[in-house]
Amino acid sequence: MDPIRIAVVGVGKIARDQHLPAIAGNSAFSLAATVSPHDPGVEGVPHARSLEELIERGPAVDAVALCTPPQVRYDLAVQALRKGMHVFLEKPPGATLGEVGALSSRADKVGATLFAAWHSRFAAGVAPARAWLAERRIDSVSIVWREDVRVWHPGQAWIWEPGGLGVFDPGINALSIATHILPRQMFLQSATLEIPANRAAPIGADIQFRDTAGAPIHMDLDWRQTGPQSWDIIVETDAGTLKLSNGGAVLTLPSGVEHNEDLEYPGLYARFATLIRGGRSDVDVAPFRLVADAFLRGHRKIVEEFHD
């Protein structure tokens, strides 16, 4: 079977650190091209300054991985789907729920695969955590996602603009795990969003969710953390405490720490290949919907200005 010819659109840090190595390590794909108006691309691989240029001049591709900021992703995905290309959407899958829904409908009509890729769901501890929680009573959940934005997103102005999500850019990773491992649906009750006076998106958030059985779920997001970083989900159950730490990479159960190989982006591309070969899409917007609800219902608290 011939490999899937894929183009990476947007050649920034996440593309170079994660997407390109994952593609290179998966025989189901071949890197056919890169696209960026700013980055020169990869030596020996055809490069275009825009997706339109790639479509017009070639080389031919079967799929695209959109690694651009979410605010510009819809139009790029539409261009690709018009040509019958399969589309991999980096997280978050778009700037609004409406545009993601429109893309899903378009992909169905043209018979192409659309994949909303939640990389944190492929962290080593997530699948076994989901399996362990399936038979438990959930009493409460604590999500603490605190990191230093200056370390992880230096100089990225788009992330502070409408549609960039602010602290929910990493926070949505936690929600992608929580919505995957918890056995019952969760929904928002209240939220406080801390927004710097000179920015449009929050730098911190305190959120109260609950699940459909009434279990409280508290989420603490902050982009001002210095020193050790915190990416933890703690679930209290009738059988003891489950903890996912380091962004889902480390699972601790009452029986001890479980060790599994952490292959987030290789797992994503294996899933994308399976979807393409099977003629299916995977567009789960549950984490994105919770973020939208926080912006819809959250109280906005203006805090001091933030400067990189």
Degrees to nearest 5, angle at CA 131 with 283 and 137 = 105
Return d(Cα 271, Cα 126) in angstroms, integer: 15
Degrees to nearest 5, angle at CA 262 with 256 and 268 = 135
Which pLDDT tens digit goes with each residue over 231-264?
999 999 999 999 999 999 999 999 999 877 778 9
Return d(Cα 301, Cα 197) in angstroms, integer: 9
Which pLDDT tens digit goes with each residue over 52-91?
999 999 999 999 999 999 999 999 999 999 999 999 999 9
Under 8 Å between Cβ of 287 and 43: no
Q: Which of 85, 94, 98 has the alpha carbon at shortest distance from 55?
A: 85
- Classify burial at 158, counting beta carbons within 10 Å of its beta carbon; exposed 0-12, middle 13-18, buried 19 or more: middle
Return d(Cα 81, Cα 4) in angstroms, integer: 16
Q: Which of 66, 57, 53, 68 has the alpha carbon at shortest distance from 7?
A: 66
Boundaries of CATH 3.30.360.10 in the chain? 121-260+292-303
pLDDT of residue 183: 97
- Classify burial at 247, counting beta carbons within 10 Å of its beta carbon; exposed 0-12, middle 13-18, buried 19 or more: buried
Q: Give the CATH fold of the 121-260+292-303 domain.
A: Dihydrodipicolinate Reductase; domain 2 (3.30.360)
Return d(Cα 251, Cα 74) in angstroms, integer: 35
pLDDT of residue 64: 98
Name the pairing type of β-strands 250-253 and 256-258.
antiparallel
Degrees to nearest 5, angle at CA 168 with 166 and 174 = 155
Q: Residue 116 contacts by C-beta under 8 Å, 6 or more apart in sequence? A: 89, 91, 93, 100, 282, 283, 284, 285, 288
For the question of whether the overall pTM of this predicted structure is more than 0.85, the answer is: yes
Q: Where are the alpha helices (DSSP H) in the chain?
A: 13-14, 20-24, 51-57, 73-82, 97-110, 126-133, 149-152, 168-181, 264-278, 286-297
91 is catalytic: yes
pLDDT of residue 2: 92
Q: Which of 67, 18, 288 has the alpha carbon at shortest distance from 174?
A: 288
Return d(Cα 112, Cα 63) in angstroms, integer: 9
Q: Collect the ranges in the chain with pLDDT lower than 50.
A: none
Q: CATH 3.20.20.70: does it fit domain 4-116?
A: no
Name the pairing type of β-strands 4-9 and 29-35.
parallel
Residue among 13, 83, 91, 243 flagged as catalytic: 91
Boundaries of CATH 3.40.50.720 in the chain? 4-116
Beta bridge partners of 116: 89
* Helix (H) or strand (E) run with residue 245 in it: strand 240-245
Q: How many residues does the chain have?
A: 308
Return d(Cα 217, Cα 208) in angstroms, integer: 6
Block residue for tokens 């649906």: 185
Return d(Cα 52, Cα 286) in angstroms, integer: 31
pLDDT of residue 263: 86
pLDDT of residue 179: 98
